[in-house]
Structure 1
Amino acid sequence: MSVEALYKVILYPFINESLASLKAMTNLVGEAGDAFVDSVDDFRFKGYAVCSEVTGGLDGVIMMHHYPETAIAIGNSVCEHMFEEKYQFTEINEELSNALAEWGNTIVGRSTDLHGRYSLDYKFSSPYFVHDVNDMDKYLVGVTEVITVPITIEGVGRYYFNLLIRNVEYQSVGIKREASTGISNPHTKVLPLESKILLVDDSGMIRKALKRYLSQLGYNNVIEADDGSTAVIMVEEEKPDFMFMDVVMGQLNGDLALAKIRDNGSNVPVVMLSSVTDQALIKSCESMGISGFIFKPIQADNGAQIIKDYLKIA
């Protein structure tokens, strides 16, 4: 199972929206840590959680999970930001519960709307809230994997996103479990080794991996961008000879960045990367002149070969 793939496809929209809503609704600043696999046997309830059941191609639970003190701090901040009054509650009371519910509903609503734009075979329930440690056991029944992403709030503490997985049908949720494949590059001329290559992905882990694969192939003139907006600027300023660009990113998705790059008159060869294999998205990118589409995840044992297959120009 690829932690990175499940993180990007399922968890990422929730994490991204939680950070945006945290800033907008509390003026607090959060930062997401790296995704990792948690032990099911050691998983413990922290005290307060906003949950949404996932059904269909993925059977499990999305959980936004807080220690009580973190939930209280966030609830107080939501109230303060909404009412411009100082709130100093020390327990989760009705007022804080309402504030946390508003924050949680905003995150789940926006995130599930983003998921709904893709033709993926899973759906989410309306959010609900868990306060009692005794309620947690029932959510762990049948769970085989827990993927966790910590969120650190500056000056406050942490909360966590957990994806409790009972079962995944990889193809239906847009994840390729076997060796990564995609839409091939139709060109035949090999990209010269001295070419400047731009990597665009909001995952530092993915950029690091791609850079390593390129180095193994002899390509060392590599520059990086962590979102689509930066990529548009770098194409103008750096004039790369080739690009690899992710689709789902925080500030500007890759397909929209590609449209801007083409509108600006650049014909730089671009290979798109995505864990989401939505056909409408692929066709949209193809209509803007891409040089292939790689379906992630890309693994260490085949990454260099896959990348090599796409490093061709007209």
Structure 2
Amino acid sequence: MTVETIHKIILHPFIQESLQSLKLMTGLDGTADEPFIDKVGDFRFKGYAVCSDMQGQLDGVVLMHHYQETAVAIGQAVQQSLVGEASNSDSLDEELVAALEEWGNTIVGRATHLLQQHKLGFEFSSPHVALDLADMSRYLEGVQQIVTVPVHVEGVGRYYFNLLVRQLDQQNSYQEAVINSDACIVAPPTEGEPLAKEALIMTVDDSPLIRKAMLRILAGIGYHNVIEAEDGDTAVEQLLSKQPDFVFMDVVMNRLNGDKALAKMRETNQSTPIVMLSSVTDASVVDACQSQGIQGFIFKPLNVDSGGEVLQAYLKR
């Protein structure tokens, strides 16, 4: 497979999703350069990377790779967009890493979803953050080729997409797929009365940053009666004990993913409207959630400027 084909089929959706998410989640503009081959022996870890293993017709790793100062600047911009305030830290503290993880998960989730739709024979692992060479070393084992695409962020600096190729099935003939931007999303209901402002809403996410962002967005559209759950198990318990009128729930969580929590909830409660949110999913997960009965499915990110309009469309009874 040529560099151009690798770029178009594999790296292109990651780059395009990163540019779109960069604009949506930070307000920053970015442009991508042409791809080139990096020398494996010259490759150096720059300080921060989001990594996703690939298997199937190609064994390798996709990296979104930053110098630390670029990562800090983008992380601060993501914080500002999501919660209306940013860290003053000039190093990658816990809050900045959480913001960058949310941005990285959004990009990897959407890009891998698009690739899986085209059934090209690639499978991707959940993204992992590397903060030092020890975190990074396992991804470098057995790498035979590296394709690199620099991305320039106006007023900030550069980050890079790298495809680290361990083994490529040369016998497989790939058709050059046209990657489109169709989002797999369950649209909001077209009927129903707006949810009363005093209604109790539960927001479920294992990221404190995202829960904080949801509280701010909901408050911005007049909903202040909100409870939080940090995992699927807690959400199931609170649905029974506190009986919220409406639920927003993330899919991918450390303890009991949202789709599994949804199935448990529907064993005892068929009526409470539940909207799923995720940046890392595929059509099978959406279908499974729909089969359990959901009000909608939103692909993250949501930001403080436009998120209210999106959530308001779903808040109906």
TM range (shorter): 0.5 to 0.7
CA contact (8 A) 1:46 1:66 kept: yes
Q: Is 1:168 matched with 2:168?
A: yes
Deviation at 1:93, TM superposition (A): 0.9
Aligned residues: 183
Task: For structure 1, list consecutive stretches of 5 or more residues without a partner in the other structure.
Answer: 177-245, 252-314
CA distance in structure 2 between the aligned counterparts of 1:86 and 1:9, rounded to whole angstroms: 36
1:120 paired residue number: 120
1:3 partner letter: V
Alignment of 1:178-257 (within 5 A): 247-248=178-179
Q: TM-score, normalised by structure 1?
A: 0.55
- Mean CA deviation greater in 88-97 or 14-23: 88-97
CA distance in structure 1 between the aligned counterparts of 2:50 and 2:171, rounded to whole angstroms: 28
1:26 paired residue number: 26
CA distance in structure 2 between the aligned counterparts of 1:125 and 1:86, rounded to whole angstroms: 30
2:10 paired residue number: 10
What secondary structure, in the 3-state scheme, does the structure 2 residue paired with 1:164 have? strand
CA distance in structure 2 between the aligned counterparts of 1:153 and 1:173, rounded to whole angstroms: 35
2:62 partner letter: I
1:7 partner letter: H
Change (3 A) 1:139 1:81: same
CA contact (8 A) 1:30 1:151 kept: yes
1:240-267 C-alpha deviation (Å, 9 max, x unpaired): xxxxxx833679xxxxxxxxxxxxxxxx
2:87 partner letter: Y
1:188-236 C-alpha deviation (Å, 9 max, x unpaired): xxxxxxxxxxxxxxxxxxxxxxxxxxxxxxxxxxxxxxxxxxxxxxxxx
CA distance in structure 1 between the aligned counterparts of 2:24 and 2:63, rounded to whole angstroms: 21
1:45-88 C-alpha deviation (Å, 9 max, x unpaired): 00000000000110000000000000000100000111222432
CA distance in structure 2 between the aligned counterparts of 1:170 and 1:24, rounded to whole angstroms: 38
* The structure with more radius of gyration: 1
CA distance in structure 2 between the aligned counterparts of 1:146 and 1:161, rounded to whole angstroms: 10
1:158-177 C-alpha deviation (Å, 9 max, x unpaired): 0000000011114547258x
Deviation at 1:138, TM superposition (A): 2.6
1:55 partner letter: Q
2:77 paired residue number: 77
2:137 paired residue number: 137
CA contact (8 A) 1:120 1:172 kept: no
CA distance in structure 2 between the aligned counterparts of 1:136 and 1:85, rounded to whole angstroms: 31
CA distance in structure 2 between the aligned counterparts of 1:171 and 1:38, rounded to whole angstroms: 24
Change (3 A) 1:172 1:97: same
Deviation at 1:105, TM superposition (A): 0.6
What secondary structure, in the 3-state scheme, does the structure 2 residue paired with 1:126 have? coil
CA distance in structure 2 between the aligned counterparts of 1:58 and 1:131, rounded to whole angstroms: 25
Task: For structure 2, list consecutive stretches of 5 or more residues without a partner in the other structure.
Answer: 183-317
CA contact (8 A) 2:114 2:180 kept: no
CA contact (8 A) 2:35 2:147 kept: yes
CA distance in structure 2 between the aligned counterparts of 1:109 and 1:250, rounded to whole angstroms: 13
1:16-58 C-alpha deviation (Å, 9 max, x unpaired): 0000000000001110011000000000000000000000110
1:134 partner letter: A
CA distance in structure 2 between the aligned counterparts of 1:39 and 1:3, rounded to whole angstroms: 14
Alignment of 1:293-312 (within 5 A): none
2:84 partner letter: E
What secondary structure, in the 3-state scheme, does the structure 2 residue paired with 1:45 have? coil
1:108 partner letter: V
Change (3 A) 1:98 1:173: farther
Change (3 A) 1:103 1:49: same
2:68 paired residue number: 68
CA contact (8 A) 1:64 1:160 kept: yes
1:106 paired residue number: 106
CA contact (8 A) 1:58 1:173 kept: no
Change (3 A) 1:77 1:173: farther
1:136 partner letter: M
**Between the two proteins, what is the percent identity of the paired residues?**
53
CA contact (8 A) 2:58 2:169 kept: yes
CA distance in structure 1 between the aligned counterparts of 2:30 and 2:180, rounded to whole angstroms: 17
What secondary structure, in the 3-state scheme, does the structure 1 residue paired with 2:120 have? coil
